[in-house]
């Protein structure tokens, strides 16, 4: 199971089945979900048909003007391709719910405070419940790490920060000063160190390499875990459950 940062096919009659139950077309509900993405500073993926992808956050939601603004790095060469794409699909997560919607009327706007990718507010959104792939971001003072060897430089050992994790995979932060890695490779003998009680070995298959938001030095590696042993899967499930409970408690403070 890979990290599902790619758009879900929306062809009726495909493997997705009838999409009516997933469709959101209430403007009030769409605005509410967009505000949660923006207020929570949730990472979202912008996806073009040619495979170009960019990870960022929804910066502004202007309901009166029916406009959205996404934080971007104007110097990134992918931004022009995204702005000019015929279709652009946004994918993001609110806890265990995957949100997906199309962007129309995209345009790059540059100003003294930074650059923004603007687009029209969507009229339709899709909401997919993904209980089996619930992803959590670590909480607390410890920094979960993945210990591995660089797939192209075996003599180089890495300790990469784990940005989020699910039963199916994890996202890692590859710093700018580390040589790049290529999607499609499998890295064996990886040690996942989440906390004092959750440490296990696995193999990782690298699916996606996407940019982080402006100000974060590095790229996001989207990986799936390969052949996770049952004992490790149970430990990972406990960690996910406990992290979810901690986040709920923090939100009540």
pLDDT digits (tens, 9 = 90+) for 16-54: 445 676 888 899 999 999 999 999 888 899 999 888 888
Give the pLDDT confidence score for residue 96 in this predicted structure. Answer: 66
Residues 49 and 91 in one domain: yes
Q: Of all residues in the chain, what percent carry a pLDDT higher than 90?
A: 41
Same domain, 161 and 211: yes
Q: Specify the range with the lowest mean pLDDT, choosing from 13-22, 65-74, 207-216.
A: 13-22
DSSP H or E stretch at residue 32: helix 27-39
Note the Cα 61 to chain centre separation in Å.
Answer: 20
Domain final residue pick, 133, 160, 178: 133
> Which pLDDT score is estimated for 80?
81
Q: How far apart are CA 184 and CA 194, in angstroms?
A: 24
pLDDT band for position 152 (cuts 50, 70, 90): very high
d(CA 72, CA 108): 9
pLDDT value, residue 133: 56
Q: What is the mean pLDDT of the chain?
A: 84
CATH number of the domain within which 189 lies: 2.40.10.220
> pTM for the full model?
0.52
Q: Is residue 52 situated within a structural domain?
A: yes
Bin 100: left if φ > 0, else alpha if -120 < ψ < 50, else beta: beta
CA distance 153 to 101: 39
Residue found under tokens 């989440």? 194
Q: Is the pLDDT of residue 113 over 80?
A: no
The pLDDT of residue 10 is above 80 = no
Q: pLDDT value at position 17? A: 44
Report the pLDDT value the prediction gives residue 3, as an integer from 0 to 100: 41
- Which one of 108, 133, 158 terminates a domain? 133
Nearest to 69 by CA among 80, 81, 78, 58: 58
- Which of 80, 99, 133 is the last residue in one of the domains? 133
Domain count, the chain: 2
């Amino acid at each position: 199971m890979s990290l599902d940062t790619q758009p879900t096919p929306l062809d009726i009659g495909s493997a997705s089945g009838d999409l009516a139950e997933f469709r959101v077309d209430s403007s009030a509900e769409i605005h509410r979900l967009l505000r949660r993405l923006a207020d929570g500073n949730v990472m979202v993926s912008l996806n073009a048909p040619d495979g170009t992808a960019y990870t960022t956050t929804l910066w502004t939601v202007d309901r009166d003007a029916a406009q959205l603004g996404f934080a971007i790095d104007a110097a990134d060469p992918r931004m022009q391709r995204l702005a000019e794409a015929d279709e652009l699909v946004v994918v993001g997560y609110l806890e265990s719910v995957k949100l997906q919607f199309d962007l129309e009327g995209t345009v790059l706007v540059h100003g003294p405070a930074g650059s923004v990718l603007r687009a029209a507010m969507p009229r339709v959104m899709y909401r997919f419940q993904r209980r089996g792939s619930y992803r959590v971001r670590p909480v607390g003072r410890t920094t979960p790490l993945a210990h591995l060897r660089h797939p192209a430089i075996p003599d180089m050992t890495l300790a990469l920060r784990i940005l989020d994790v699910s039963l199916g995979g994890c996202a890692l932060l590859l710093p700018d000063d580390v040589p790049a890695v290529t999607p499609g490779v499998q890295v064996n003998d990886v040690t996942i160190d989440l906390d004092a009680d959750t440490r296990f070995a696995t193999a990782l298959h690298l699916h996606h390499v996407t940019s982080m938001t402006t100000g974060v030095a590095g790229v996001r590696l989207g990986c799936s875990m390969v052949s996770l042993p049952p004992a490790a899967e149970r430990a990972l499930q406990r960690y996910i459950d406990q992290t979810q409970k901690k986040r709920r408690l923090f939100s009540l403070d």
